[in-house]
Each structure stands twice: as C-alpha cells, then as structure tokens.
Amino acid sequence: MTTQNNATEKSIQFVDRLRTEAAQPTDPVSTEAPTKETQIIAIYGKGGIGKSFTLANLSYMMAQQGKKVLLIGCDPKSDTTSLLFGGRACPTIIETSSKKKLAGEAVSIGDVCFKRDGVYAMELGGPEVGRGCGGRGIIHGFELLEKLGFHEWGFDYVLLDFLGDVVCGGFGLPIARDMCQKVIVVASNDLQSLYVANNVCSAVEYFRKLGGNVGVAGMVINRDDGTGEAANFATHVGIPVLSTIPANEDIRRKSASYEIIGRPDSTWGPMFAELAENVATSQPIRPNPMSQDELLGLFAASAVGRDVVLEPATQFDMCGKTDTSKPTLEVVYDEV
C-alpha cells in the first residue's frame, strides 16, 4: 500500500510540475534574421493548390540568382519535382531504400538526389494505398537523410513541400521538431485551402506554446481570381502576402506542359524574382489562427452555408417507425 501511495504522490507531483511549466509565458518569436547559414523553409498547403508548381518555379529562379537550392518533396504522390524535371518521375528515397536494402547495398546521394540548372531535388515518396502510413514514411525518409549527412550539406536554401491537409505526425515534423526556421502557406480564394492554411497556423501556435521556435513567414496566393478572401485571411492572422499568382490561362497551360516559367527571361520571371526576394527576407511570425466561425465570415453566407439551420433527426427518420417508449426492466425496491 505504501508503494502505491508513493507512486500516486509522484504522479501528482509530475502533473503539477507540467502545469506549472505550461503556465509560464512564452518568449515572442524572434524578428532577427535567421542565424543559420542555411534557411530551411517548409511550404504547406492543401493538396492540389499549387505548392509543387510554386516551389519548382521558385527554386529555379533562386538557382538562376546564384543561390544553391535543395528542393525536397514530402508528398506521398511524389510529384513535387515533376515540373522541374519536365514530367519525369524522380526515384523516391523510400522506394530506393527498400530496393537497396533487399540487395544488401547502401543508399548513396546519387541514388536519390538529382539536379537541373543548379537546382538539387529529391522525393521522399510514400507507401501505396493501404500498404503503410504516409506520415511514418516521412519520418523514415528524414532518418535516412540524416544518415546521408543532411545537417552537413551546404545549401543556401532547403525547401520542403508538405501536405497541409494531412494531420498525422510525420507531416508536422518540421514544425514539431524545429527542423525549419519558418513556414510558408500556399492557398487560394476558397474555403478549403484557407481552412488548411489556418490549421497550419494553429499547429505553429500550438508548438510555440510547447517551446517551439518556428514561425509563419507569409502566404503565397495561387490562382488568384481577385475576390480577396485569401488576402483578408492573411490580414486577420497577421502574416504577409509574399506573392499573388493570378489565375491565368498562360500559366495554366505552361504548367500543364511541364514548362518552367520562373526564368529571368520569362514573362512571369519578375513575379518569381520578387517572390524569391520576399521568401529570403521574410521573418517568422507568430500567427493568430482564426476560429471556424471567423474563417466562414470571410465568405458570403450563400457561399458557405451559414444560412442553413441544423434540424435534429428523429427516431422515425432513422428507423422508419415511430419511437415507442419501452418499460424499464429496472427493479425498484420500496423503502423500508
């Protein structure tokens, strides 16, 4: 009994210590320039919103400006580097690692990292449907990168392409483990992509409260149609808009044919040159995530269904028959 009491007392003391630590105020996000020589930047957004398009052109422009850039695709679809390599599939780290392991061989840099016009790129990859956890694949991929010397590589920028609408732990790795200095969100003027952007801001704020140091450096608005919801969102959460990429047929057509438009001599070159400058100089900010109602408030009521009234279902709705009261089988004893 004494042993049990001691264990209970230690458990109470541990909980009290955690509560005391949690109640301590957190330091504000630093507004100083990053002190690390390499800027590691995680880019998040809803699947299909244009992260890979943005990153391929951004990384290409940075390389043309004389920067040494590494682009790492962290999406199970393994399509981050497709535009950069003209539509060609890049061997993934997870797939290559599995093949090499079966052959009793070690993975080398040349097996998983490829380059084009000064941009270095690789894909982590992920399991096929029903054959594993994508988040676990991300963790395994970074473990392998660390064995290959990730922390000793000499790049000016490392850009990480992450899905923002997958909530399992592996996809939050850069934020949870302080693997990057700052986060950039890609969104458009639609509720779903802004919901994801808000979720990412919430994750940053959550880990800041736990002692993390990652901040949100800003937003890239892709396929902008001029309605303004994404810009309003950025204002509400307190982050800058780093670039606004218009919904343009020329951009869509060239992207669909795997053509890089982030070239200095391209029509769209100045836009990506400005984005590269803003990404380089933007500072990590502690965002103020919006509530669901506040997020819905960015849109007209007719667009998001705020006029809809929730009507409770009945037993007849569920079973097709009237709800009948059945007598209880509980035995009630008279008081003595």
Number of folded domains in the chain?
1
pLDDT tens, residue by residue, 285-307: 999 999 988 998 898 876 666 67
Six token digits for residue 134: 């994508």
* Alpha helices, H only, 210-239: 229-237
Question: Is 23 domain-assigned?
Answer: no
Question: Is 332 domain-assigned?
Answer: no
3 state DSSP class of 179: coil
Predicted pLDDT of residue 95:
87
Question: Is 334 domain-assigned?
Answer: no
Question: Is 32 domain-assigned?
Answer: no
Whichever domain contains 231, its CATH number is: 3.40.50.300
Predicted pLDDT of residue 24:
63
Collect the ranges in the chain with pLDDT lower than 70. Answer: 1-7, 10-11, 14-15, 17-19, 21-36, 127-132, 134-136, 167, 169-170, 302-306, 321-329, 331-332, 334-336
| Domain encompassing residue 266 | 39-291
Report d(CA 262, CA 62) in Å as an integer: 9
Question: Is 10 domain-assigned?
Answer: no
> How long a stretch of residues is the chain?
336
pTM of the model: 0.80
Q: Which among 155, 215, 210 has a CA at the least distance from the CA of 184?
A: 215
Predicted pLDDT of residue 118:
94
pLDDT tens, residue by residue, 9-47: 766 776 676 567 666 665 554 455 544 589 999 999 998
Predicted pLDDT of residue 304:
65
Question: Is 27 domain-assigned?
Answer: no
Question: Is 335 domain-assigned?
Answer: no
Contacts for 96 with CB less than 8 Å, ≥ 6 apart: 107, 111, 112
Predicted pLDDT of residue 34:
46
Question: Is 278 domain-assigned?
Answer: yes
Contacts for 194 with CB less than 8 Å, ≥ 6 apart: 187, 229, 230, 233, 295, 298
